[in-house]
Every structure is written in C-alpha cells, then in structure tokens.
Structure 1
Amino acid sequence: MSMFKQFGDMAKMVKAAPGLIDQANTLAAQSEAYRAQMDAQAVHAMTAQAAPGNLEPIAGVDLDRYARIVKGIAAYGYDETKLPLVAGLFGVDPSSWVEAQAGWGARIQADRGVGRRFNEIYAAV
C-alpha cells in the first residue's frame, strides 16, 4: 500500500510542478528587477551632483569646514555636546554654528549631491 501512496504523492507533485516553477520564475524576475533598481539608485547616489547654490556657505561655514568640525568630535568620543567647542576652534561663533549645523544637516538630507560631497570630505579629513 505504501508504494501506491508514494506513486500518488509523486503524481500530485508532478502536477503541481509547473505552477511551482512559474512561481519561482516570477520571484526570480521580481528579485532581479529590485536588484536593478537598487543598483541604479546606488549609481545615482555615487555620481549625484549638488543642485546649484547648495554648496554655498551657511552662516559663513562652508561644507569643508562643517565636515571638519563634525569629524572633530571624534577626539571627544563623538560627544555631540562638544560640537560648539570644536566649532569655536575652527573660528565659528555659537550662533553661526547653530545655523550652519541645521542648514547643512537639511541640505545633506535633501540633496544627494551635497551628501555625497560631505561624505568625500569627511572621509578625507
């Protein structure tokens, strides 16, 4: 009896195989499309250029100085409360730093080109 049951189970599996293969092929195609989309986004992020005017200084702080200040808190264990102190070491007064920090943070988030350039500077200093 068990041999006949095995044949029956095998027959069911063979009947189901085309549908399972179609599902697997559909999932593979969706996965490939998703990967292609992610690749395109990665290329765009790595080659993005900042919009005109978005690299202009904010409150007298250019992106290079901003990146150096942000990286400067490494000496303080990345304690963000030390940012005004480090900014002062770079000649930036507290009120200008508040404005620059908010402005550069917003630009970096809104413009991939600015974010890419910030990352380049941050990695280099």
Structure 2
Amino acid sequence: MNLLKSLKDMNAMVTAAPDLIASANRLADNAKLQQAQAMAPAPVAEPSAEALTPIAGVDLTVYVRVSKGIAAYGYDAAKLPLVASAYGVSESNWALAQAGWAARIQNDAAVGAKFNQLYAGA
C-alpha cells in the first residue's frame, strides 16, 4: 500500500510541476525587473540657466577644459592658473571661478551631472 501511495504522490507532484516551474519563473522575472529598476540611475534634471551663469567670466565648459587640462601636468593643481590663462582667464578670476564652480557642483546635483557629462566628453 505504501508503494501505491508513493506512486500517487509522485504522480501528483509531476502533474503539479509545470505550474510550480512557471510560478517560479514568474517570480524570478519579477525579481530581475525589480533589481533592474533599483539599479537604474535616477534621472537628473538639467541645471537651471541661473546655475550655469558664468563665475568671474568662466562658464562651465571652460571650467571643465581647465580642470581636464591639468592632466598634461600630472594633475598638479598648482598648474590650474597656467592652464586657465590659455583660455584667457586671469589667475584672480580663476581663483573665484574655481571656488564658485566647486561649490555649485557639490550643492547642485544637476550641475554636478552636467560637469561629469562635459568632463567625460571633453
């Protein structure tokens, strides 16, 4: 009798297996979708025109070019005024622009994202 009961239980299990497998696959697909959504970067709005106003005559594009330009000098920050002068920016204006843009980039995620986008493309 135990053998017959075991065979019936096995038959029930085999009959239910496709539904269980389909259910498990749906759960796995949902988990993958949720993970992809969680890993997607949050959209960042474009910076406002006010946030992109040049500082001491230095716009964000020039700030990026100067920031990236020190690569030729082994990223020696002391060379920033020299690189800035190649873009027509005086040392005193560069000091103001550097402090101002650093603050904007840190305080405004949209400006930071724009800086990163320009830096990667420059």
Count of residues in Structure 1 that have an aligned counterpart in Structure 2: 88
Q: TM-score, normalised by structure 2?
A: 0.66
Partner SS for 1:43 = coil
- Give the structure 2 partner of residue 25 of structure 1: none
- Give the structure 2 partner of residue 56 of structure 1: 53
User: Over alpha carbons, which structure has the higher Rg?
Assistant: 2
Letter of the aligned partner of 1:89 in structure 2?
A: A
- Give the structure 2 partner of residue 6 of structure 1: none
Instruction: Name the one with the larger helix percent.
Output: 1
Is residue 49–residue 112 contact of structure 1 (8 Å, CA) maintained in 2? no
Once the two structures are TM-superposed, the CA of residue 49 in structure 1 deviates from its matched residue by: 2.2
- Give the structure 2 partner of residue 78 of structure 1: 75
Extract structure 1 runs of 4+ deviating beyond 3 A.
none
**Residue segments in structure 2 that go unaligned for 5+ positions in a row:** 1-33
State the percentage of identical aligned residues.
55
**Residue segments in structure 1 that go unaligned for 5+ positions in a row:** 1-31
Is residue 58–residue 99 contact of structure 1 (8 Å, CA) maintained in 2? yes
Q: CA RMSD in A?
A: 1.8
